[in-house]
Amino acid sequence: MSRALLIVDVQNDFCEGGSLAVAGGAELAGEISEYLDAHHGQFDHVVATQDWHIDPGTHFSEEPDFEDSWPRHCVAGTRGAELHPNLDPEYIQAYFRKGQFAAAYSGFEGLLAPEDDVPTGDRKAGAMPVSGAGTASGTEETGDSFAAMEDAIGLDDWLQSHDVEDIVVVGIATDHCVKATALDAIQAGYSVTVLRSLTVGIADDLDDAVAEMELGGVDVT
Taking phi first (over 0 means left), then psi (-120 to 50 degrees means alpha), and beta for anything else, what does residue 189 get?
left
65 counts as catalytic: no
Distance CA 143, CA 69 (A): 24
Q: Give the C-alpha separation, 155 to 98, whole Å.
A: 10
| Separation of alpha carbons 54 and 213, rounded Å | 29
Our answer to whether residue 177 is catalytic in this structure is: yes
In this structure, the strands spanning 164-172 and 111-112 are: unpaired
Catalytic site includes residue 9: yes
From 13, 88, 177, 179, the catalytic residue: 177
Strand ranges (E), 121-221: 164-172, 191-200, 219-220
Instruction: Kindly name the residue from 98, 175, 179, 184 that is annotated as catalytic.
Output: 98
Catalytic residue among 9, 51, 156, 184: 9
Query: Could you give the residue numbers annotated as active site?
Result: 9, 98, 177
